[in-house]
Structure 1
């Protein structure tokens, strides 16, 4: 049934739903623009909408009581947010905001809940997605503990590259420092390492991937495991246009 909706949706979850399932709630989907820094979900606040991304990248961020931030997950057209809406939870402790501007289809949270209760195929697919996102978050925690900042940055650039068209990714040094939970000078040094190996090109507000294969080799086991699990649970993510 994926081909039926090929021309209508880019979101990998919506594309994988049977036509009969998607028709159940497609009329309630509203396509909206999502500018950079747009807040999709705030800690402990009622969830009004669920968002299925067509483009752009959202960050799932956790903040300590003392104000320290760390990104625990990223979401693009491979998924949706907040994943807790799939579980019937009214609120969670995370910030979710747009890291790279894009567009999404949104649906009121009560409407999504009703569909999940009525349609087993929707519930099954979206439940597998929550598992895939949990695996991504687990490997992010592992990478933060086990890998050098250079490898972590390579992993993070690859994950962003997976979710955008082309090789240019709009990312500032300041934002990367928050997302990687390191000081800004550490990000600058790591970017210079990747540039020196001719894997990327970095300028103010932009990172360009020059050698995707080399970047994967440099990241070593920091990248790839959660991507394999996504494919096992959901199927292949949308292929990127050739560089």
Structure 2
């Protein structure tokens, strides 16, 4: 079987690796197709594999007693499972699952851990990625505390839009309500308001982004900081 070449990789983190670091991982990268709702990392379970999304994206969620709430979004810019691996644990109380199906590069956790220990440059770039993801998480907390529902929805739609090609998102009201920690009726009303303002167009299980600038007007600094930090530290268009 031919090995995946760095020049053809869609994952920005893999593309940003030095040629030597990519060569360390290349023989161990296994392409796979992800399915909607597929669990990638279970809460409290040993992390045996990590995932570089090529297309689609995954959610990191906390399972509360009453509902699930999304605390992180990982697409082609990142690595699912990076933080536990690099911070010295083999499990996490958070759960990661596929929110938009696509393709992934799977790698054995022990292989990636060993490679990061061998290469200071690989270790550094993975820690930089974790840093940007922690900023994303802190801004999620800010958004939940300070912004109204429409603004929080606008932020998540912008983040999802960053992780797909084109302007159409396949997102159900169920997923949106989980992302925002609200009931579906609230999501429906917020979507209607965004659509009425010409920011999006909604169809069954699909949302089309019509005007990013109008969405950006709502988010009050909760979007763009983590993305700029990623560009500064990691780059990779």
User: What TM-score do you get using the length of structure 2 for normalisation?
Assistant: 0.95
Q: Which moved more, 1:227-236 or 1:100-109?
A: 227-236
CA RMSD of aligned residues (A): 1.2
CA distance in 2, matches of 1:72, 1:222: 14
Task: For 1:218 and 1:146, locate their aligned partners in 2 and report how far apart those are by CA, in whole Å.
Answer: 12
Cross-structure match for 1:123: 123
Structure-to-structure mapping, 1:55-204, within 5 angstroms: 55-64=55-64, 66-83=65-82, 84-204=84-204
Give a deviation string over 1:181-232, Cα, whole Å, max 9, x none: 0011110110011001111001110000011122112323232222122222
Q: CA deviation at 1:67?
A: 3.8
Deviation at 1:151, TM superposition (A): 0.2
Tell whether the 8 Å contact from 1:72 to 1:137 is kept in structure 2 after alignment.
yes
Give the unaligned 5+ runs of structure 2.
none
Aligned residue for 1:222, secondary structure, equals coil
Whole-Å separation in 2 of the counterparts to 1:101 and 1:210: 22
Structure 2 counterpart SS, 1:131: helix
**Structure 1 residue 5: Cα displacement:** 2.8
* Count of matched residue positions in the alignment of Structure 1 and Structure 2: 232
Is 1:211 equivalent to 2:211 in the alignment? yes
SS in 1 for 2:52: strand
CA separation in 1, counterparts of 2:38 and 2:196? 34
Q: Could you list the runs of 4 or more consecutive aligned residues of structure 1 that deviate by over 3 angstroms after TM superposition?
A: none
2:101 is paired with a residue whose SS is strand
CA shift for structure 1 position 86: 2.4
> In the aligned structure 2, how far is the partner of 1:222 from the partner of 1:115?
34
CA contact (8 A) 1:54 1:103 kept: yes
| CA shift for structure 1 position 172 | 0.7
Query: How far did 1:87 drift?
Result: 2.3
Structure 1 unmatched ranges of 5 or more: 239-243
Residue in structure 2 matched with residue 5 of structure 1 by the alignment: 6
1:219 aligns to what SS in structure 2? coil
- Contact kept, 8 Å, 1:88 with 1:113, in 2: the verdict is no
Deviation at 1:46, TM superposition (A): 0.3
1:43 counterpart SS class: coil
Match of 1:241 in 2: none
Q: Are the equivalent residues in 2 in contact too, given 1:151–1:222 (CA < 8 A)?
A: no
Separation of aligned partners in 2, 1:88 and 1:108: 16
TM-score (norm: length of structure 1): 0.92
Separation in structure 2 between the aligned mates of residue 219 and residue 199 of structure 1, nearest angstrom: 13
Q: Is the 8 A contact 2:6 2:15 kept in 1?
A: yes
